[in-house]
Chain A
């Protein structure tokens, strides 16, 4: 079967660093995505990894290990506006993308 696991909720403090983990088992792999979704809004694209290693984009970084079926999203210098759900998703080919249930991140002052 196809499965993407990520923690349900996390809490972190403003200014800190938080790492959101994602493990996946899918029948195909054409890349791993992270999306951010604020409450009541549409998901928006954050990052994409198709090769192993770390991709850095400002305060956000994403890591991928294809052999381990593992990714993480790293958020640095947390801000209150980073409170949102973070969705891990795998492109399985043929235009299909499978999503995890999402991790709700609460940033406290």
Chain B
């Protein structure tokens, strides 16, 4: 069975600094996708960034980038120039290339941003 593990329950970063959130996953599939979702307090979950397993190049979206290490089954999220609005729960998620595309989530990392 596929699993997603986030070992950092909480992280803290100074505004304008860089922070990295860790995620590992386990799968025997070769075709899959990985995601980072952001869930602000009392607000809905939004997609931050997505990585397709067959792409070697790490995905980047503005201040957000990932370090995808396929052999190590590691998928970390780097947030550069942290802003107060980045404070939220961050979930790492996985889906395989089967037809359902159901998401399997980690337990989340709460990111605190210090002004």
Do A and B share a complex?
no
* A residues neighboring B (CB under 8 Å): none
Contacts from B to A (Cβ < 8 Å)? none
